[in-house]
Structure 1
């Protein structure tokens, strides 16, 4: 119950914060899964709903911070050499691709990971009155906001290996046979 209440409060806070932000973030998909020891990730769609500001993505993270026993999150947007800048009222969408290193971020599940881990993927950005990649850009004059963030609910699930399902099924059949005897 406490975990559910925390997620509901976080969702409400995110919805209220979204109204004051210049971005709308949608994960695609919001719920991802992989076998323990493997990596999975999120694609995304980002809409800059500002009518006059240019949105510059500065990075992403996953919260709550992943317990080391479950795995680790890696930002795929912040480290890029080419900045992701959205003009006013523009949208950018990108699928997750581990080989191309595209998408919002990825999660490497620990070999011992089991079950789901729910949290929020946070996208951090700055907002400027002109395109920050142009020659005339002046950060002192053109900055609207440097520390904005938007979040989307996300879940990463460690999917049991097919062999684990077979062992579980064998155990259940043995238990059923023992009860009949």
Structure 2
């Protein structure tokens, strides 16, 4: 009976130790903006703060789910043909590049979108006690945590189109000229 209790305590301690391990995700920039109908994305920095386990990226998403009326999110990091793996205490930093398809993800702003959508980019990963690219790697034996998540605050803004900004500028200049003309005219009492 004592041995079972010791085993359960050891198992619980291992689970709690694993649960406290987390990757640190930082987006660059945290807020992005694009004209309606255009696409832009986030660069990132990811730090594996686990001193003994390897981090394997399994995907990313924008949460809460993106309303289709505002746009759509595309996972770039998890969709790569090669695995993204960070050794213990390693950091990976990458800028967003639409041509090279680098960064954590990109956001396509819908043609009718207006305003800003606030949320989080969630990075999903698994932890392994051995290097997944190593010759002795066994996914069943080396799996520590199959589904962990790191989050970073993010926002996507639908920017006014340049034509709209020009019209607003012309209208503002017209109103300013009208106010100046009215201010110069003498008032009849």
Please give the range of the TM-score, normalised by the shorter of the 2 chains. 0.7 to 0.9
Max radius of gyration: which structure? 2
Give me the whole-angstrom Cα distance separating, in 2, the residues matched to 1:107 and 1:174: 36
CA deviation after TM superposition for structure 1 residue 23, in Å: 0.6
Aligned to 1:44: 44
- Equivalenced residue count is 163
Aligned to 2:96: 96
Give me the whole-angstrom Cα distance separating, in 1, the residues matched to 2:161 and 2:27: 25
Give me the whole-angstrom Cα distance separating, in 1, the residues matched to 2:119 and 2:45: 18
Mark the CA change 1:175 to 1:21 in structure 2 (over 3 Å): closer, same or farther: farther
Q: Name the TM-score, length of structure 1 as normaliser.
A: 0.84
8 Å contact kept, 1:54–1:88: yes
Aligned to 2:108: 108
8 Å contact kept, 1:69–1:113: yes
Give me the whole-angstrom Cα distance separating, in 2, the residues matched to 1:21 and 1:135: 25
Give the gaps of 5 or more residues in structure 1. 1-18
SS at match of 2:77: coil
Give me the whole-angstrom Cα distance separating, in 2, the residues matched to 1:153 and 1:59: 17
CA deviation after TM superposition for structure 1 residue 171, in Å: 3.6
Give me the whole-angstrom Cα distance separating, in 2, the residues matched to 1:20 and 1:42: 26
Tell me, yes or no, if structure 1 residue 151 matches structure 2 residue 151.
yes
Alignment of 1:1-181 (within 5 A): 20-173=20-173, 177=178, 180=182
Give the gaps of 5 or more residues in structure 2. 1-18, 184-189
Give me the whole-angstrom Cα distance separating, in 2, the residues matched to 1:51 and 1:173: 60
Coordinate RMSD, CA, aligned: 1.9
CA deviation after TM superposition for structure 1 residue 24, in Å: 0.4
8 Å contact kept, 2:52–2:129: yes
CA deviation after TM superposition for structure 1 residue 116, in Å: 1.1
SS at match of 1:59: strand
8 Å contact kept, 1:21–1:148: no
8 Å contact kept, 2:63–2:121: yes
Q: Structure 1 stretches (4+) deviating beyond 6 angstroms?
A: none
Give me the whole-angstrom Cα distance separating, in 1, the residues matched to 2:158 and 2:112: 9
8 Å contact kept, 1:21–1:150: no
CA deviation after TM superposition for structure 1 residue 78, in Å: 1.1
